[in-house]
Amino acid sequence: MRLTCAGAARTVTGSCHHLELDGSQLLVDCGLFQGGADLEALNRQPFPFDPAALDAVLVTHGHLDHVGRLPLLVKRGYRGPIHCTAATAAVAKVILRDAAKLQEEDHERALRKALRAGRAHELPGPLFDSDDAEAAIARFAPLEMERPLGLPARVEARFRHAGHVLGSAYVELTTPDGRITFSGDLGNRESSLHPPAVTPDETDVLVVEATYADRTHPSRADTEARFEEVLMRSFARGGNVLIPSFALERAQMVLALLKRAMGSGAVPRRPVFLDSPMATRMTRLYQSAVHDFLPEVAAELERGDDPFEPPGLTYTVSTEESKRINAVEGGAVIIAGSGMMTGGRILHHLKHNLWRSEASLVIVGYQARGTLGRALQDGAQRVRVFGEEIKVNAQVDTITGFSAHADHDDLLAFIEPARAGTVVLVHAEPEAMDAFAPQLTQRGMRVVTPALAEPVTF
Ligand SMILES: [Zn+2]
């Protein structure tokens, strides 16, 4: 078999793995490159395979860096099914529709500029539009976890629980040439929501993410205790508490922990606003699932005691409702996107609260270099929001334990039982891989870290 990584090769985003077997071609994930102009330019490059020649596509989970190029794949000729779990199909629908809308809006903005500059003819079209997204969505073919799926050339596929986000799975492919397992993204074993990944069966080749292979996350107990401690301190200051959050997994985690902390009396009850239409849609999906959760979370859902609705929760839908929250003073919790504070409704909450010494900003997610979130996390005294200078008087706290990704020990706990002869490391920066690879070599595994579009034969 021959594997070509058309993304997430010595970088984190753009997961897209092409597998050529005797008589068939498969693709696992088809994600968008994200994080700066150089990486994003790769999205416009042709795929290093012919989309029309693929027999099937399998998708591990709904994050944009795993599904974001599916519309392009279909636009460029793919006509087969896109297999994924039902929950992943539901998540990916929301993500792809939102991404298409953003592509269209960005393009319209660029077009207005280009028209004024007399350069409209030089401007490429949007990467994909809503019609392209719908064409990809129409190809989703949901498959239950653990149920074997027969594919051409006597290949059998199986999705297995990965513990990363709602619906996330890893993919095991049993072929006449041996078994190859693709981890997708693996969850943090200390998650407060999702159970750990199912232990993999033995495999010949393991293609595994290594995002945090050089890190150890704090324990779940420490993270939850720190969250409560930060909330207590923030409430004592008397102002609003802003929690910028990703829409998928992180927002639901924060809601669940708020519910537990307020429900048990560990922290006082305060009004909570989920001010993100996308996070609201994702929360609805979490509320309608039961199979993906830790037993205590599933039990609450089955009892009808919604684990994602703290007392006093308001879902704000319209922009007007969102703006009305600005009038709230004195201790409301506001959860809004975007997670790295690069856009979205969190910006107007930052503008109205950062200058207040009684307000608090609680950072619960990764902040990439160059983002407003990172500047605030690093202690910036003054920032610009909507072009306006804002003095930062609010308290800024970071809680590091909320990662949805496996850390070093989680990865080893997944890799060792798979007893793979060859391990292909993907979805990580070179530093994380280079630190991790020797540890696998010591354990007798052959380790490969392929470059983009560089084929590896097994
Ligand atoms: Zn992911």
Predicted confidence at residue 366, as pLDDT, reads 87
Mean pLDDT of 322-335: 88
Tokens of 313: 């929760």
Could you tell me the distance, in angstroms and rounded to a whole number, from the CA of residue 168 to the centre of ligand 1?
Answer: 8
Q: Are 210 and 219 in contact (CB under 8 A)?
A: no
Mean pLDDT of 322-334: 88
Where b means 16+ CB within 10 Å and e means fewer, 131-157 reads: ebbebbbebbeebebeeebebeeebeb
Could you tell me the distance, in angstroms and rounded to a whole number, from the CA of residue 437 to the centre of ligand 1?
Answer: 21
Higher pLDDT, 323 or 438: 438
Could you tell me the distance, in angstroms and rounded to a whole number, from the CA of residue 12 to the centre of ligand 1?
Answer: 10
What is the crossing angle of helices 86-116 and 130-137, to 10°? 160
My answer on whether 197 and 253 are in the same domain is no
Could you tell me the distance, in angstroms and rounded to a whole number, from the CA of residue 63 to the centre of ligand 1?
Answer: 5
My answer on whether 306 and 192 are in the same domain is no
Predicted confidence at residue 257, as pLDDT, reads 96
Range of the domain at 410: 2-215+404-457
Residue 64's pLDDT band (boundaries 50, 70, 90)? Answer: very high
Could you tell me the distance, in angstroms and rounded to a whole number, from the CA of residue 327 to the centre of ligand 1?
Answer: 36
Q: Which amino acid is at 163?
A: G
How many domains does one find in the chain? 2
Could you tell me the distance, in angstroms and rounded to a whole number, from the CA of residue 66 to the centre of ligand 1?
Answer: 7
Could you tell me the distance, in angstroms and rounded to a whole number, from the CA of residue 439 to the centre of ligand 1?
Answer: 24
Could you tell me the distance, in angstroms and rounded to a whole number, from the CA of residue 242 to the centre of ligand 1?
Answer: 24
CATH number at residue 362: 3.40.50.10890
Could you tell me the distance, in angstroms and rounded to a whole number, from the CA of residue 61 to the centre of ligand 1?
Answer: 7
My answer on whether 126 and 260 are in the same domain is no
Predicted confidence at residue 329, as pLDDT, reads 75
Q: Are 427 and 455 in contact (CB under 8 A)?
A: no
Sorted by sequence, the CB contacts under 8 Å of residue 211 that are 6+ apart come out as 12, 185, 405, 406, 427, 428, 432
Could you tell me the distance, in angstroms and rounded to a whole number, from the CA of residue 380 to the centre of ligand 1?
Answer: 29
Q: Which amino acid is at 282?
A: M
Who surrounds ion ligand 1 at CB < 5 A? 63, 185
End-of-domain residue from the set 359, 385, 402:
402
Tokens of 186: 């693996």
Q: What are 189-201's pLDDT values in tens digits? A: 999 999 999 999 9
My answer on whether 287 and 416 are in the same domain is no
Q: Is 343 exposed, middle or buried (0-12, 13-18, 19+ CB in 10 A)?
A: exposed
The pLDDT mean for the chain works out to 95
CA distance 450 to 428: 12
My answer on whether 246 and 317 are in the same domain is yes
Is the confidence metric ipTM above 0.95 for this complex?
Answer: yes
My answer on whether 145 and 60 are in the same domain is yes
pLDDT at 330 > cutoff 80: no
Q: Which residue is listed with tokens 């060792």? A: 416
My answer on whether 194 and 254 are in the same domain is no
Could you tell me the distance, in angstroms and rounded to a whole number, from the CA of residue 62 to the centre of ligand 1?
Answer: 7
Could you tell me the distance, in angstroms and rounded to a whole number, from the CA of residue 90 to the centre of ligand 1?
Answer: 15
CATH number at residue 90: 3.60.15.10
My answer on whether 178 and 57 are in the same domain is yes
Torsion over CA: 403, 405, 407, 410 (sign): positive
My answer on whether 178 and 260 are in the same domain is no
Q: Which amino acid is at 138?
A: A
CA distance 87 to 95: 12
My answer on whether 63 and 150 are in the same domain is yes
My answer on whether 283 and 272 are in the same domain is yes
pLDDT at 345 > cutoff 80: yes
Could you tell me the distance, in angstroms and rounded to a whole number, from the CA of residue 116 to the centre of ligand 1?
Answer: 39
Could you tell me the distance, in angstroms and rounded to a whole number, from the CA of residue 94 to the centre of ligand 1?
Answer: 15
Cα torsion 25, 30, 34, 39 to 10°: value is 20
Distance (Å) of CA 199 to CA 202, 413, 419, 423, 450 = 10, 8, 11, 16, 25
Q: What are 165-222's pLDDT values in tens digits? A: 999 999 999 999 999 999 999 999 999 999 999 999 999 999 999 999 999 999 999 9
Predicted confidence at residue 104, as pLDDT, reads 95
My answer on whether 154 and 21 are in the same domain is yes
130 upstream amide cis, omega within 30 of 0: no
Could you tell me the distance, in angstroms and rounded to a whole number, from the CA of residue 276 to the centre of ligand 1?
Answer: 20
Q: What are 289-315's pLDDT values in tens digits? A: 988 999 999 999 999 999 999 999 999
End-of-domain residue from the set 367, 382, 402:
402
| Residue 4 exposure: Cα atoms within 13 Å on the Cβ side | 14
Mean pLDDT of 275-297: 93
Residue 328's pLDDT band (boundaries 50, 70, 90)? Answer: confident
